[in-house]
Amino acid sequence: MKELFGRLADGTEIHRWSLENGGTRMKVLSYGGIVQCLETPDRHGRYANISLGFDRIEDYVTSSPYFGALIGRYGNRIGKGRFTLDGETHRLSADDGENSLHGGEAGFDKVVWEVEPFQRGTDVGLRLSHTSPDGEMGYPGTLTAQVTYTLTAEGDWRIDYAATTDKVTVVNLTNHVYWNLAGEGSGTIEHHELTIAAARFTPTDPGLIPTGELAPVTGTPFDFRAPKPIGRDLRTGHPQLLAAQGYDHNWVLEKGITAEPEAVATLRDPASGRTLRVATTEPGMQFYSGNFLDGTLVGPAGRAYRQGDALCLETQHYPDSPNHAHFPSTVLRPGETYRSTTVHSFPA
Ligand code: BGC
């Protein structure tokens, strides 16, 4: 189903598509490819919206910390907003102090995507397309991006990303859903239990740019190899947690880059009985514990979002890869196709 959600200041119509399959319901906006609502049942079959969002387009345009949005051209930060590729230095839009975050000031979360619904066998979904002109936000090359959201008969939400370029460039696409498995607006996620299949993470400098080190998680608050409540080590005073006001780091997934999505994380809310499983082809995942939610934004149910009221699990290549030769490469050349897949499942 397609309906009018609102209009941008210049009159552009923003549409909202509703999808349902296998017990999962979602609503997606043409603006930013935003997942505006994602509903799953709890252990008693009661539905709740488990992703933070707004019910007015104006709020997404002016105040959203990327709620539910597609992120591009580059997920997470590029240090000092610059990188050098084949001898040429590129300067990006700096939207986070001197750094460039999530594609710059007007990234893929702020563009109006072309949206085509589809049905294929037992799958339903949306095909989102966007062409980013050469030089947009400082990135070289015309980037033609296609993102497919599929809801499967099992109720899985699968994202397939693809992109091509006409000049050498870098690309790192992801999605920025803020999860609260007890329902948006229901309070803290500190009691959610998280598992991440990673023995190392990438520590950051005070500006949240990776130092380049791949540090072991053993004996640190960053060890999520066994299920752990998110709040358990949050107040330990670990310098990396103090600098980021919580978790806001990239985990080095043990499996590395894979041709097919492999399971990397499980999030469980003991109270509601809801579980989210994440599988991906990507080598990294940013776990962000909602540190910068500060009680100034109000969700669709009229409840304010405070620090730690949601978390993000953003599958990706590592932040600032263009400036770290030993990180897996994010370079895309003409003639190649960037591909990435992430599957979110909601086992009962
Ligand atoms: C980043 C955070 C940032 C958040 C929302 C996350 O992906 O790692 O530092 O505050 O997105 O902007």
What b-and-e string marks burial along 85-99, b requiring 16 or more CB atoms within 10 Å of the CB? beeeebebbbbbeeb
Active-site residue identified among 176, 249, 324, 344: 176
Q: Ligand 1 pocket: which of 292, 307, 311 to mutate (most atoms <8 Å of CB)?
A: 292
Between the alpha carbon of residue 336 and those of residues 95, 108, 126, 331, the distances in Å are 29, 21, 24, 10
Residues 6+ apart with CB under 8 A from 145: 72, 108, 129, 130, 131, 132, 161, 162, 163, 173
CA angle, residues 95, 99, 104, in degrees to nearest 5: 40
**204: helix, coil or strand?**
strand
Q: Is 208 in the pocket of ligand 1 (CB under 6 A)?
A: yes
Q: Is 288 in the pocket of ligand 1 (CB under 6 A)?
A: yes
Q: Is 269 in the pocket of ligand 1 (CB under 6 A)?
A: no
Q: Is 175 in the pocket of ligand 1 (CB under 6 A)?
A: no
Q: How far is CA 226 from the centre of its chain?
A: 23
Chunked in runs of 10, what are the mean pLDDT values of the chain (348 residues)?
97 98 98 98 98 98 98 98 97 97 98 98 98 98 98 98 98 98 98 98 98 98 98 98 98 98 98 98 98 98 97 98 98 98 96
Q: Based on the residue annotation, tell me whether 176 is a catalytic residue of this protein.
A: yes
Nearest to 28 by CA among 101, 109, 83, 95: 109
Question: Using CA positions, which residue lies closest to atom 7 of ligand 1?
Answer: 76
Q: Based on the residue annotation, tell me whether 314 is a catalytic residue of this protein.
A: yes
Q: Is 314 in the pocket of ligand 1 (CB under 6 A)?
A: yes
Question: Whole domain around residue 128: which residue ranges?
Answer: 2-345
Report the pLDDT value the prediction gives residue 67, as an integer from 0 to 100. Answer: 98
Nearest to 69 by CA among 103, 31, 106: 31
Calculate how far, in angstroms, residue 66's C-alpha sits from the geometric centre of ligand 1. 8
Helices first, then strands: H and E counts in the chain = 2, 29
Nearest to 31 by CA among 105, 108, 146: 108
As given in the structure block, the two tokens for residue 136 are: 């947009």
Report the pLDDT value the prediction gives residue 31, as an integer from 0 to 100. Answer: 98
Report the pLDDT value the prediction gives residue 58, as an integer from 0 to 100. Answer: 97
Between the alpha carbon of residue 282 and those of residues 173, 248, 260, 261, 299, the distances in Å are 10, 18, 9, 8, 30
DSSP per-residue letters across 91-152: E----BTTBEETTSTT-GGGSBPEEEEEEETTEEEEEEEEEEPTTGGG--S-EEEEEEEEE-
Count of domains observed in the chain: 1
The CATH number that applies at residue 196 is 2.70.98.10
Residues 6+ apart with CB under 8 A from 242: none
DSSP per-residue letters across 281-321: S-SEEEEE--TT--S-EE-TTS-EE-TTS-BEEEEESPTTG
Active-site residue identified among 136, 314, 317, 344: 314
Environment class of 278 (CB within 10 Å of its CB; exposed 0-12, middle 13-18, buried 19+) = buried
